[in-house]
Structure 1
Amino acid sequence: MNVKKLSIGVVAVLMTIASGCQKGYLDINNNPNQVTVATPVLVLPSALSSSGAYYSNSFTFLNLWMGYWNWSGNYSIATSDKNYQFTNSFGAGIWDNGYIILKNYDYIDTQAATLKQPLVQGMAKIMKAVHFQTLVDTYGNIPYTQALQGLTSAQPAYENATAVYEDLFKQIDAALTLFSDADKLAAQGGTVLNPGTNDIMFGGNIDKWRRFANTLKLRMLLRQSEKSDRQAFIQTQLAAIKASGYGFLKSGENAAVNPGYANSAGQQSPFYGTYGYQVNGQPIEAYNINRGNKYAIDFYQSTSDPRLARYYAPVGGSGTTFNGTFFGTIAPVANNQTSGIGPGLLNNVNQPAYIMTSHEAFFSQAEAAQRGWISGDPKTLYQQAITESFVNVGLPAADATTYYSQTTANVGWDASPDKIQAIITQKWASLNGWSPFEAWSDYRRLGVPNLPISQDPSTSVKQIPVRLLYPQSEYNYNSSVVRAQGDISQFTSKIFWVK
């Protein structure tokens, strides 16, 4: 099977759906000519491709908030984008496209159950957990149980975010059970369908899916670390992770998709194709719009961090000069005086689209080990996380050893009096560009690092938002239900795990 042709083609279908589906609560499965007539294994690569595009491009505005990027002085930016006073239309695609993608995974889940394809069904359940977690982390209470029923439940109820989180652990456990059932069936001589190359994330490697599932659980548990009322739940789940024996994502194991990206229109890797270069090699407008942020550039320079030249391009395209401005600055600087997005993030047109990086996985393990939640040496895990970050942006592992051997606080482990702060600071330093959502989540949870607030004079609330507003589509099509959530503020309506 030509995975490239299948997945790219279905992505185009999904993007068409995403631009025109609202009524019927994202009920996209009515047209018999769409992907719902396909067997689950054929829908899987398109769904994974959509997830890759979603996590590559939906949250890049957070690079502004998290101190990584700023807008170029060559372009104007709406005041509402500079002072956090956005409306219900801001980031609407995060909600709408998130549920559209979930609808496709739900189709895979239900149809794979009917066809007795436990491996495919388990993958779909894990990916549903990934996307539902993101929606909770962005909006709090969300439609969940009734959300994917189409016209059967066109105005689905909102469910408590904590309850959704708890059920996601059950769904992940159900996926792991399906994997185990498949093992038993195969051991008895039964036939088990493995999607193989149609699994464009792990190539049908179920052990990697197991480790990804546990790492996703760990991410969700760490979100709740600062809530005293969640500690019993955390310990119960940690015991289940330990008992599973599967461990977590290992060195070099990125949860990343690649259907066969190529240097053709509509087939480039989504991050590269949105923030990098056109097929003819010319910069895309978004590349010119997004420039380096002085906060991050100063940090990398002050710690002698070679990732600086991977995250940012030197001023003028040559040399070793890097420059940026703070978000919301009243003194914007032209493109030729600031750094663009660097070659570590814009490696090539067929680079993978990341859903969870190996360095995030190791930073999570380092924090959990430092808290005494899991076994393992937190220092070793911390240093491995930094090494994974270096390798993932194209630097040799030896450079990471030189870097973390410094006697600088928040770089060298022994030189850092607050180990959690060091872990989260270095985690922030590793999430530049590709994973600003994780940086935002850690910032909301722990307040690390001490990020600057927008410098725009109209910024009346000196605070980075803790959530997004429910989209206008909800007020249009699910009005009474969403209004029952009350008046929502991006500054005070906190997600349940926010400190």
Structure 2
Amino acid sequence: MNRIKLTIIGALTISLTILSGCSKEYLDINDNPNQVTGTTPDLVMPAALASTGAYLTTNFYFLNLWMGYWNWSGNYSISTSDKNYQFTNSFNNGVWNNAYTNLKNYDYMDTQGAALGQLQLQAMGKIMKALHFHILVDTYGNVPYTDALKGLNGILPKYDNGQAIYDDLFVQINTALDLFDQADKQADQGLTVVNPGTNDIMFQGEIALWRKFANTLKLRMLLRQSEKADRASFIQTQLATIKASGYGFLGAGESANVNPGYLNSQNKQNPIYGAFYQVNGSATQTNNQYKANGYAVNFYKTTNDTRLQGFYRPVPGTTTSYNGTLFGTTDVLVNSQVSDIGPGILKGVNQDTPILSSHESLFMQAEAAQRGWITGAAKDYYQSAITESFINVGRTAAEATTYYSQAGLNNVNFDASTNKIEAIITQKWASENSLAPFEAWTDYRRLGLPSGVPISLDPSTTIRQIPVRLLYPQTEYSNNAANVSTQGTISQFTSKVFWTK
């Protein structure tokens, strides 16, 4: 992997940055889509994928607080607006800005792949654009789409309807799958097909996994709409297309992870590990600031879940004691009394970064099977998902079997669970600690599950509701006022994304 990174840097001879906040790092390229870079889509690809990984793991820390995974440390004085959900248009603007910046990289892959006849690269660019745009819709509702990514030709993009964007994303992903098929036909005819190979730091150019990834993204977007009766026909049509493709979904051992060759060097570590530990191994401010949340700690304890030891570390000075506090509590404990984020999350400087985990894919298949959308036993998918989660956080398959086989334990043992969808979503939430809080927040907005996730305990929390969306960034009101104003007055509590329950 190190050879790949050095080759990219030598070929481009430019400074590379990764999209992690505002810091300048080593893997972002092509910031200006109107600038002639002289590079090819396969060289843009590793930078873009690494940026997506960093985006998903470091832009959503606040959701770990909201969803009961983390809490603030008692060693810090935290702004009231960070504890009572009453944030402003300046709150976490990186979610918007970093997405659109990296979308330009994927758009470059798409358009230049088309121009050069590199069908596989073009398809990969389309799939990754769909990923980022669906997350933008899930976060903000209506967003710039058809006018976005046009550079100087679209500096004031209009806003598109979120549902219409979703509909077109299915078209784009289906087009990508058709492009893979066209590339296969070219190969059969003896024509040269450009495959990114090891520059694809997610699947190493394995098209079968890209096809599964595309179908898994479509399943995710369909499940988002599960509670909308008016979308039933659309859902069934898309499910038929997925079934007819024969490609299936990501399964056990098939996580969509990225790794550009992370190093124990400044700004070159795995993004979440580097956020918590410095190169010399000492704790960062982020490490000192975020600690275990009592809600998750108690869940793992009461269900005899050994993932507790992966998600958190024992209280300092102990080997088996785990402790946390609830979000917004005024009785926040100092660092010496609470658990740190654990070794199953912070494994090392060179750990992979997940974009879509094998366990998330299997939990989605479990839900789809329980709804009658796909074939297969929901229980089998459910147990396989739990097993993958245990493995992915550094535990064992045997521990997983012991866990889900506990007799009579609701929302753990599938047969004993009184509401199968609730059991699936509860265990999905239990698996997403620290690395996929966005998916937990999405399921909570969609289904209200897990039902026990506590609202902030801060006394200033007058609206006792986890927000359903983020606010458009202040830059939109400053620079694109005419278009953002068409969206009306936005509230984080009432301005719902189209699929929200």
Counterpart Cα distance in 1 of 2:317 and 2:368: 41
**Structure 1's 248 and 65: CA in aligned 2 closer, same or farther, altered over 3 A?**
same
Please state whether the residue corresponding to 1:99 is helix, strand or coil.
Answer: helix
**What does residue 13 of structure 1 align with?**
17
Please state how far the C-alpha of 1:195 moved relative to its aligned partner.
0.6
Counterpart Cα distance in 1 of 2:137 and 2:336: 40
**What does residue 469 of structure 1 align with?**
471
Counterpart Cα distance in 1 of 2:15 and 2:492: 32
CA contact (8 A) 1:69 1:290 kept: yes
Unaligned runs of 5+ in 2: 25-29
Please state how far the C-alpha of 1:317 moved relative to its aligned partner.
5.3
Return the letter of the residue paired with 2:427. Answer: Q
**Equivalent residue runs for 1:36-435 within 5 Å:** 36-274=37-275, 276-316=276-316, 318-407=318-407, 408-435=409-436
Counterpart Cα distance in 1 of 2:389 and 2:19: 31
Q: TM-score, normalised by structure 1?
A: 0.96
Please state whether the residue corresponding to 1:403 is helix, strand or coil.
Answer: helix
Counterpart Cα distance in 2 of 1:145 and 1:428: 33
**What does residue 495 of structure 1 align with?**
497
Please state how far the C-alpha of 1:28 moved relative to its aligned partner.
2.1
Counterpart Cα distance in 2 of 1:93 and 1:214: 28
Return the letter of the residue paired with 2:296. Answer: A
**What does residue 27 of structure 2 align with?**
none
Return the letter of the residue paired with 1:306. Answer: T
Counterpart Cα distance in 2 of 1:11 and 1:123: 24
**Structure 1's 17 and 155: CA in aligned 2 closer, same or farther, altered over 3 A?**
farther
**Structure 1's 272 and 233: CA in aligned 2 closer, same or farther, altered over 3 A?**
same
**Structure 1's 10 and 92: CA in aligned 2 closer, same or farther, altered over 3 A?**
farther
Please state whether the residue corresponding to 2:316 is helix, strand or coil.
Answer: helix
- Of 482, 485, 493, which residue of structure 1 is paired with 2:484? 482
Kindly, what percent of the aligned residue pairs are identical?
62
Please state how far the C-alpha of 1:300 moved relative to its aligned partner.
0.3
Return the letter of the residue paired with 2:104. Answer: K
Counterpart Cα distance in 1 of 2:7 and 2:422: 45
Return the letter of the residue paired with 1:150. Answer: G
Return the letter of the residue paired with 2:372. Answer: G
> How many residues end up aligned between the 2 structures?
490
**Structure 1's 160 and 10: CA in aligned 2 closer, same or farther, altered over 3 A?**
farther
Please state whether the residue corresponding to 2:244 is helix, strand or coil.
Answer: helix
- Of 456, 459, 465, which residue of structure 2 is paired with 1:457? 459
Counterpart Cα distance in 1 of 2:428 and 2:122: 32
Question: What's the CA shift string for 1:460-497, capped at 9, x where partnerless?
Answer: 00000000000011111101100110000000000000
Counterpart Cα distance in 2 of 1:7 and 1:166: 36
Counterpart Cα distance in 1 of 2:17 and 2:358: 31
Question: What's the CA shift string for 1:244-264, capped at 9, x where partnerless?
Answer: 000000111111110000111
Return the letter of the residue paired with 1:71. Answer: W
Counterpart Cα distance in 2 of 1:191 and 1:137: 39
**Structure 1's 342 and 11: CA in aligned 2 closer, same or farther, altered over 3 A?**
farther
Please state whether the residue corresponding to 1:61 is helix, strand or coil.
Answer: helix
CA contact (8 A) 2:75 2:334 kept: yes
CA contact (8 A) 2:19 2:54 kept: no
Unaligned runs of 5+ in 1: 21-25
Return the letter of the residue paired with 2:400. Answer: A
Return the letter of the residue paired with 2:176. Answer: A
**Structure 1's 18 and 71: CA in aligned 2 closer, same or farther, altered over 3 A?**
closer
**Structure 1's 169 and 18: CA in aligned 2 closer, same or farther, altered over 3 A?**
farther
Counterpart Cα distance in 1 of 2:413 and 2:269: 38
Question: What's the CA shift string for 1:192-217, capped at 9, x where partnerless?
Answer: 01110000000000000000000000
Please state whether the residue corresponding to 2:279 is helix, strand or coil.
Answer: coil
Counterpart Cα distance in 2 of 1:5 and 1:442: 40
CA contact (8 A) 1:18 1:100 kept: no
Q: CA RMSD in A?
A: 1.6
Please state how far the C-alpha of 1:16 moved relative to its aligned partner.
9.9
Counterpart Cα distance in 1 of 2:399 and 2:164: 44
